[in-house]
Structure 1
Amino acid sequence: MKAFNTKISIFLLFGLVFQLFFACSEKVQEETASEVPSVDFVNQSFEAAKPLYVNLLKETEGNFEDYPHAVNADGSIKYLQIDEWTGGFWPGILWYMYEYTGDEQWKNAALDWTHSLESNQFNTSHHDIGFMMFCSYGNALRFEKNKAYDQILIESAKSLLKRYSPIVGSIQSWNKRKSKGEINTWEFPVIMDNMMNLELLCYVTEITGDSTYYDVAVKHATQTMRNHIREDFSTYHVVNYDPKNGEVLHQQTLQGFSDNSTWARGQAWGIYGFTTMYRATQDKQFLETAIGLADFFLDHPKLPEDFIPVWDFNVGEDGFVPDWHFDPSLFDKQPRDASAAAITASALLALSTYVDGEQKQKYFDAAENMLKSLSSDTYLNSGEANPYFLLKHSTGNLPSGNEVDVPLIYADYYFLEALLRYKKMKG
């Protein structure tokens, strides 16, 4: 206990030094760095979440058609409909609240919102079925051994496979569309985010014994590894394939700064997705990829001292030219992306269990630092900024001017997931 207290004291000392440095050298959304959170930051964050999510439940009571997504500039809730990609995060959050508190009110709400997504098992309009159904029904199965839930996930996986092309070796993310700036047409676009849907496929093979789903997940991950990841383990957001022969036509971005830059959340999706694929396959190439992606993120000279990245690692740098109007005067005010940090923190905790020695400590410590920063007043909502969401300062799609420096539902989801992982690992 003495050694533990000494460790905490050293952390607090360094935290205070960092606070002074950060306040003098940089602003986060023109806020000064906040007081270092207490050592019990997991409990602190969940306690802060309770009244916010009670408010959100009241606001959404009886409405199982509109799913909370973000907060608009006027403070109102931005909703997306059942067929949109973020519907599963709200029931997933409720399951995490139940897991932490054991309070039946959260379980009952989680069941209601999970069941509301049932028709999505037949959704074939895009690739996000894993986000939508595994974050909801997948979490539900950890507490409710309901065979009907497995059947829903099996049907969801069948829907996802309808977007798979054996010629391309990938699951098509979006339907044919124009690229950003309408420079070219994306015939068969695959985005890094799609790595997050492969866990559903691996799970369905596990419960059915049908290797078809697993095989597609492995092929998709392998193609992503080949064509989305650069030699330095930075990543492209979008790879466009020719559906006739599988040839790579374009490597571009939609939500990043430029086609050759590294969008922070895209890098986070990659770390998480390849860590998950290693867990499912024990294939060392996926572990090595996850490690490379993680090291790029953590060792990047532009990663701020508080471990919360700016929305793109290369914004404003020479050699990175956007195809959209960008004001250089904004270089010193680039918004952070708390969602990228939350996703990465959760992924790093998992990744730390698959490596040893200094590498293991590096990933665990980085995740811990991210969570402590997110639990600070700078990023954690006290209820004054908005009465519904937990984290501040996420960035959805800056090039489109959409959801810039706002609370986002998936930031909260992965933050709570990471906090629970951290708590279990600390014992």
Structure 2
Amino acid sequence: MHINHHLTPQDLIPELERFWAVSGQKVKDLNQNYDPAQGSPVFTIEGKYTTRGWTEWTQGFQYGSEILQFDATGDSSFLDIGKKNTLEKMAPHVTHFGVHDHGFNNVSTYGNLLRLMNEGRIPENEWERNFYVMALQASSAVQAKRWTALPSGGYIYSFNGPHSLFADTIRSLRALAIGHQLGHSIMGENDQQTSLLERLVQHAKTTADFAVYYGEGRDHYDVWGRTAHESIFNTNDGNYRCPNSQQGFSPFTTWTRGLAWIMVGAPEQLEFLQTINDAELEPLGGREAIEAFLLKMAKATCDFYIENTATDGIPYWDTGALNTHQLGTDVYERESDPFNDAEPVDSSAAAIGAQGLLRLGRYLNDDKYTQAGLTVMKTLMGDNYLSLDESHQGLILHSVYHRPNGWDHIPEGQSVPCGESSMWGDYHAREAALYLQRLANDDPYYKFYL
């Protein structure tokens, strides 16, 4: 990436104003014209949102987008539909024992609504508050119950089963963090109580130890910041077996959306830990050790992204995909090309990763990461990636869901998926834009935790 070292959040206010205007039109279109009987909207095909059965992990992004639109613009009509949809349709996600995505679905809806009430953005209402709190407490316990114990700790296992840790899940630790702040824990057999904070720290540590590489010789392809989408364990004895990838090209290459989940998940957990006192962290390894592994993971993944991304800040879907060589050895010395003939870009990875870069830059007071995040956001909100066609229901163009399975739409005349949007890409673009807008306007800092 070629980082623009001169950008400030205030410089992007015009882009932000256009972004939210476009976003509002898309939110209304989806709310009015998408049939929820199809299932959760996942990605667009020829500009129209459709579903794709795998797991129910995107509905919270749809309704969370409505809430973020209100947050950014103050237009109460978006709050009304966001609250209504959360109340009527999100309850099954609170007790969904089959997914590792509670931090996606429930923090994006119930969590955003509770945050707005805490900020005084929506009126205080005791019963409404209790409703959000109960939903988040239940969600946190359900998420943390999905647990594989290891001799060194453990992890929240993916929908693939107890042997599988996904890079994605570090962002679902938000559910555990909020649950802990709300005084909740897991109650098991014989009333055995387990700390949500303990499970949060242990999952983060397992992710840091096995999903991210640090150039320390773990395998032949070990470089600083390389990330495996999936880590496989032997559930009989708890031993780590190998890296794997469900949506990337291979276990030994980096699927950039998996990388991006860790880029944002690690810095926001560092921010969250600032609200926890040292005494609570001492039996879990102590603040210094916990923050050290989170910071190492955050810096490694963000550095890898910067080094392995096109000059405008948009990555290709996997840094080692089969036809990447056809893009040329100077692929990261040129702007991204969504319409190339070799491998697709993934704007959703950029939307997720941009917030990680911005948060890490603020945490470290390091302009390298801050300016990299601003560079990515300027591109995402520019004409090449912002969906300006009102007939297109997506917000950010050129997102990719599952390239190995061939699920993504390839337009006529093109060789690779392009021109489409995803629910997670659109939501995280909104989240990053809200984060940036609050920085630009010196508004209260945008955070997921209480």
- Taking structure 2 as the reference length, what is the TM-score of the superposition? 0.76
Question: Residue 312 in 1 paired to residue 318 in 2?
Answer: yes
Superposition deviation, residue 347 in structure 1: 1.4
Superposition deviation, residue 209 in structure 1: 5.9
Q: In the alignment, what sits opposite 2:101? A: 128
Letter in 2 for 1:248: Y
What is the aligned-residue identity percentage?
Answer: 26
Tell me, in whole angstroms, the C-alpha distance in 2 between the residues paired with 1:200 and 1:297.
26
Letter in 2 for 1:131: F
CA contact (8 A) 1:66 1:82 kept: no
Q: In the alignment, what sits opposite 1:191? A: 166
Distance 1:206 1:363, change over 3 A: same
Question: Residue 334 in 1 paired to residue 343 in 2?
Answer: yes
Q: In the alignment, what sits opposite 2:401? A: 396
Superposition deviation, residue 246 in structure 1: 1.0
CA contact (8 A) 1:161 1:213 kept: yes
Cα-to-partner distance string for 1:50-101 (whole Å, 9 max, x where unaligned): 222221111137x47732221124x442136796011110111111100111
Cα-to-partner distance string for 1:188-236 (whole Å, 9 max, x where unaligned): 1111001111011011111116471111010011011111111212111
Tell me, in whole angstroms, the C-alpha distance in 1 between the residues paired with 2:370 and 2:196.
31
Question: Residue 67 in 1 paired to residue 40 in 2?
Answer: yes
Question: Residue 250 in 1 paired to residue 233 in 2?
Answer: no
Distance 1:55 1:47, change over 3 A: same
Structure 2: gaps (5+ residues) = 118-123, 186-193, 215-223, 275-290, 326-338, 409-416, 442-450
Tell me, in whole angstroms, the C-alpha distance in 2 between the residues paired with 1:298 and 1:377.
22
Tell me, in whole angstroms, the C-alpha distance in 2 between the residues paired with 1:65 and 1:253.
28
Bigger mean CA offset, 234-243 vs 402-411: 402-411
Letter in 1 for 2:204: A
Question: Residue 142 in 1 paired to residue 123 in 2?
Answer: no
CA contact (8 A) 2:317 2:344 kept: yes
Superposition deviation, residue 135 in structure 1: 0.9
Question: Residue 295 in 1 paired to residue 268 in 2?
Answer: no
CA contact (8 A) 1:83 1:123 kept: no
CA contact (8 A) 1:121 1:156 kept: yes
Q: In the alignment, what sits opposite 2:444? A: none
Q: What is the count of residue pairs matched by the alignment?
A: 367
State how 1:271-420 maps to structure 2 within 5 Å.
271-282=263-274, 283-300=291-308, 303-316=309-322, 333-356=342-365, 360-383=366-389, 386-403=391-408, 404-405=417-418, 406-420=420-434
Tell me, in whole angstroms, the C-alpha distance in 1 between the residues paired with 2:210 and 2:312.
31
Tell me, in whole angstroms, the C-alpha distance in 2 between the residues paired with 1:402 and 1:98.
32
**What's the secondary structure of 1:166's corresponding residue?**
strand
Q: In the alignment, what sits opposite 1:54? A: 28
Superposition deviation, residue 387 in structure 1: 2.8
Q: In the alignment, what sits opposite 1:264? A: 256
Cα-to-partner distance string for 1:287-333 (whole Å, 9 max, x where unaligned): 22201111111123xx11111001011224799xxxxxxxxxx9853
Q: In the alignment, what sits opposite 1:223? A: 206
Superposition deviation, residue 143 in structure 1: 2.4
Tell me, in whole angstroms, the C-alpha distance in 1 between the residues paired with 2:295 and 2:324.
32
Letter in 2 for 1:198: L
Question: Residue 204 in 1 paired to residue 179 in 2?
Answer: yes
Root-mean-square deviation over aligned CA pairs = 2.5
Letter in 1 for 2:21: E
Q: Higher relative CO (CA 8 A, sep ≥ 6), structure 1 or 2? A: 2
Tell me, in whole angstroms, the C-alpha distance in 2 between the residues paired with 1:249 and 1:130.
27
**What's the secondary structure of 1:260's corresponding residue?**
coil
Question: Residue 117 in 1 paired to residue 117 in 2?
Answer: no
Structure 1: gaps (5+ residues) = 1-7, 12-36, 177-186, 320-329
Tell me, in whole angstroms, the C-alpha distance in 1 between the residues paired with 2:48 and 2:439.
37
**What's the secondary structure of 2:248's corresponding residue?**
coil
**What's the secondary structure of 1:190's corresponding residue?**
strand
Distance 1:118 1:279, change over 3 A: same
Distance 1:154 1:209, change over 3 A: closer
